[in-house]
Amino acid sequence: MKVNTPGLTPGTLFARETLWQSWLDVEAALAEVQAEMEMIPAWAAEGIRAAATLDKIGIEALQADIRVTHAPVLSMTRLLGRAAGEAGAYVHWGATTQNVMQTGRILLIRQADGAIRRALGAALDRLAEMAATHAGTLMAGRTNRQHALPITFGFKVAGWIEELTRAVDRLDGGGRRLFVLPFGGAVGAMHAFGPQGQELNTRLAARFGLGALLVPGRAINDLFADYVVQLALMAMTIERIAAELYLLMTEEIGEISETLDPGTVGSSTMPHKINPKFVVRVLAEAAELRGIAGSALETGRSSHEGDAAKNQLLSSVLDRAIPLAWTLAEGFDGLLRRIAVNAPRMERNARLSGGAIATEGLMMLLAPRAGRAVAHDLIHHALDRRAGGSVAEALKADGGLRAHLSEAEIDAALDPANYCGDSARIAQDAARMARELGRQIR
């Protein structure tokens, strides 16, 4: 049995009522498993299950009791016991507060994880389409923000795809470690459950579709911290992709733009401006999520068998990180759906240097005839001596080069479209990779 909350959104994921109902779900499942093991009567489990809804115990009554006790799970179990009648005597049998709260959180995080994965799967579909469509679209490859070698836009997208697959892989590992059952009583050694503790944990974990822990204690903050760090790394990847898109939207570059809805206004004072709208939000959310990693790592430094101070910090971290990751993943997919590629501008920019961007190819053509070092220096010095005119003219006028290469060979080597390496093949392979992973994670 997997607990699912219908209509869950990033805004309601850890809302008060959502959390409270998750605790009630845990209490009801605990009672049912204990009844199966004859730890409590079957009729008691039925009564607890029937009463385990906020409507039955009363939201206002629960809120009022919590104001008095400052112990939310104690208040909840007290009201659940009353609502369950005679069965209430068996509510929360052998459990402790953190067992219920941590398990409820994990079940909710797992639902958010599914939504994050669906959004990443959709984003991978968008990137796959982009890589395949533009496998042969010429553009300038840039290192240190300067033109390096010709590539295709599909090749650039391939790099984004492969990095995003690593983010998904890290999320897989974090989820595999986090989605376990921390239900071992007051300190994790299952004292109150007696000799049935291990079996209870195994059965209850199976009921929720969670893994089992050898030490199902309360000091498992490292698992939550681990998962949040994986989300932060996902944000880092999304931020890198979005930042490149944002840079390519620069007026002087103009290779990428957002498809905006009619009536969109860019500036209240500059009528000509239509600013990017979606990429900036993705960048802001990614930076915020990435920054939460430091606080997440603080939560893992809990003391002994339980630490309320670190748990309070952990709740705050999770309240921020998980909904933000969900929103970010969906926003990233939304951004990719609006990306427009200006292929002619990409080609024009790739040719700005007059073929200098492809001189490595010319060097490698010359190298077997003159030696690689000599080939490099011949081309470098020919360009260094250029006093006007085109790159091609300067190279064709150099006697050292012309001793080995014809004008036609030099012209062909200087065409950036002829020197994109394995860009097209890599782009198509990445598109297939993205489609397959997209199918898997959805």
Tokens standing for residue 205? 């974990």
CA angle, residues 11, 13, 14, in degrees to nearest 5: 100
Tokens 């670190």 sit on residue: 310
The structure's pTM equals 0.94
The whole-number pLDDT of residue 388 equals: 81
CB neighbours of residue 301 within 10 Å? 12
Average pLDDT over residues 278-288: 97
Domain ranges of the chain: 16-93, 113-177+216-348, 356-414
Q: In CATH, what is the architecture of 16-93?
A: Orthogonal Bundle (1.10)
DSSP state letters, 258-287: E-PPTT--S-SS-TT-----HHHHHHHHHH
What top-level class would CATH report for the domain 113-177+216-348? mainly alpha
pLDDT band at 276 (very low <50, low <70, confident <90, very high): confident
CB neighbours of residue 166 within 10 Å? 12
Average pLDDT over residues 264-269: 72
Residue 87 to residues 47, 48, 157: CA-CA distances in angstroms?
5, 6, 59
d(Cα 210, Cα 247) in Å, to the nearest integer? 43
Spatial contact of 152 and 134, defined as CB atoms under 8 Å apart: yes
pLDDT band at 3 (very low <50, low <70, confident <90, very high): low
Strand 146-152 to 180-181 pairing: unpaired
Helix residue ranges per DSSP H, 191-263 = 197-208, 221-248
pLDDT band at 227 (very low <50, low <70, confident <90, very high): very high
Q: Which residues pair with 146 in a beta bridge?
A: 143
Average pLDDT over residues 203-210: 97
Tokens 């939000």 sit on residue: 281
pLDDT band at 2 (very low <50, low <70, confident <90, very high): low
Average pLDDT over residues 32-39: 97
Among 182-186, 273-277, 427-431, the range with the most confident prediction by mean pLDDT is 427-431
The whole-number pLDDT of residue 113 equals: 97
H or E element in which residue 335 lies:
helix 308-337
Average pLDDT over residues 216-221: 92
d(Cα 330, Cα 326) in Å, to the nearest integer? 6
Q: What is the DSSP letter of 191?
A: G
Helix (H, G, I), strand (E, B) or coil at 353: coil
Strand 339-341 to 211-212 pairing: unpaired
Q: What is the DSSP letter of 268?
A: S
